[in-house]
Structure 1
Amino acid sequence: MESTGVVVRKMAPTIRLRRLAGELRKLRIGAGLKIEDVVKQTQIDQSSIYRIERALTRPQRRTLTALLNLYGVPAERQATLLNWLKESNQQGWFRVYEPYLPEQYQALIAFEYEAESLQTYESMFVPGLLQTEAYARALIKGVVPAIDEDDLQRRVEVRMQRQSVLQRPIPMQLWALVDEAAIRRVVGGSDVMQEQMRHLLEAAARPHIRLQVVPFGAGAHPGMPGSFIRLDFADQFDAPMIYTDSMAGDALFRPGFDGDIETWEKIQLCRHRRSTPMTCVSV
Structure 2
Amino acid sequence: MPPRTTPTQRQRRLGAEIKKMRTEAGLTAEYVAGLLGIDRGKVSNIESGTRNISPDRLRTLAKHCACPDERYLSALIELTEPPQPRWWDEYRGKLSSGLLDIVELEWHSTRIQTIQTVHVPGLLQTEDYARSIFAAVLPALSRLEIELRVAHRMGRQRVLTREQPVGYVGYVHEAALRMLFGGRDATREQLKALIEASERPNVRVRVLPVDRGSFPGAGHALLYAEGPVPQLDTVQLDSAHGPEFMHTELQLARYRAHLDWMDDACLSPKASQDFIHSIIRSL
Q: Of the candidates 228, 234, 247, which is equivalent to residue 241 of structure 1? A: 234
Q: Does 1:48 align with 2:47?
A: no
- CA–CA separation in structure 1 for the residues paired with 2:90 and 2:118: 29
8 Å contact from structure 2 (residues 114, 222) kept in 1: yes
- CA–CA separation in structure 1 for the residues paired with 2:161 and 2:41: 42
1:252-267 alignment runs, 5 A limit: 252-255=244-247, 257-267=252-262
Residue deviations 1:17-69 (CA, integer Å, cap 9, x gap):
356435544664576532121234556333331231232x12365xx755655
Q: 3-state DSSP class of the match of 1:88?
A: coil
Residue deviations 1:238-269 (CA, integer Å, cap 9, x gap):
611001125x5663111152111111222333
Q: 3-state DSSP class of the match of 2:221?
A: strand
- CA–CA separation in structure 2 for the residues paired with 1:112 and 1:67: 25
- CA–CA separation in structure 1 for the residues paired with 2:202 and 2:256: 20
1:12-161 alignment runs, 5 A limit: 12-13=7-8, 15=10, 17-18=11-12, 20-21=14-15, 24-25=18-19, 28=22, 33-41=27-35, 44-55=38-49, 57-59=50-52, 65=56, 68-69=59-60, 72=63, 84-85=79-80, 87-144=81-138, 146-161=140-155
Q: Of the candidates 153, 162, 167, which is equivalent to residue 161 of structure 2? A: 167
Over 3 Å counting, the alpha-carbon distance change for 1:89 and 1:190 in structure 2 is: same
Over 3 Å counting, the alpha-carbon distance change for 1:84 and 1:251 in structure 2 is: closer
Counterpart for residue 5 of structure 1? none
| Root mean square deviation of aligned Cα | 3.1
- CA–CA separation in structure 1 for the residues paired with 2:75 and 2:123: 32
Q: Does 1:227 align with 2:221?
A: yes
- CA–CA separation in structure 2 for the residues paired with 1:188 and 1:82: 45
- CA–CA separation in structure 1 for the residues paired with 2:130 and 2:93: 21
Over 3 Å counting, the alpha-carbon distance change for 1:214 and 1:80 in structure 2 is: closer
Over 3 Å counting, the alpha-carbon distance change for 1:199 and 1:127 in structure 2 is: same
Aligned residues: 259
8 Å contact from structure 2 (residues 98, 242) kept in 1: no
Counterpart for residue 185 of structure 1? 179
Percent sequence identity is: 30
Q: Does 1:280 align with 2:279?
A: yes
8 Å contact from structure 1 (residues 243, 253) kept in 2: yes
8 Å contact from structure 1 (residues 123, 223) kept in 2: no
Counterpart for residue 243 of structure 2? 251
Over 3 Å counting, the alpha-carbon distance change for 1:20 and 1:111 in structure 2 is: same
Over 3 Å counting, the alpha-carbon distance change for 1:206 and 1:82 in structure 2 is: closer
Over 3 Å counting, the alpha-carbon distance change for 1:123 and 1:12 in structure 2 is: farther
- CA–CA separation in structure 2 for the residues paired with 1:149 and 1:175: 32
TM-score w.r.t. the length of structure 2 is: 0.78
Structure 2, unmatched stretches of 5+, are 65-69, 268-274
Deviation at 1:133, TM superposition (A): 0.8
Matching residue's letter, 1:240 = D
Matching residue's letter, 2:264 = L
Structure 1, unmatched stretches of 5+, are 1-9
- CA–CA separation in structure 2 for the residues paired with 1:213 and 1:81: 36
Residue deviations 1:113-161 (CA, integer Å, cap 9, x gap):
1112111001111110000011111111123472111111110010000
Which has the larger helix fraction?
Answer: 2
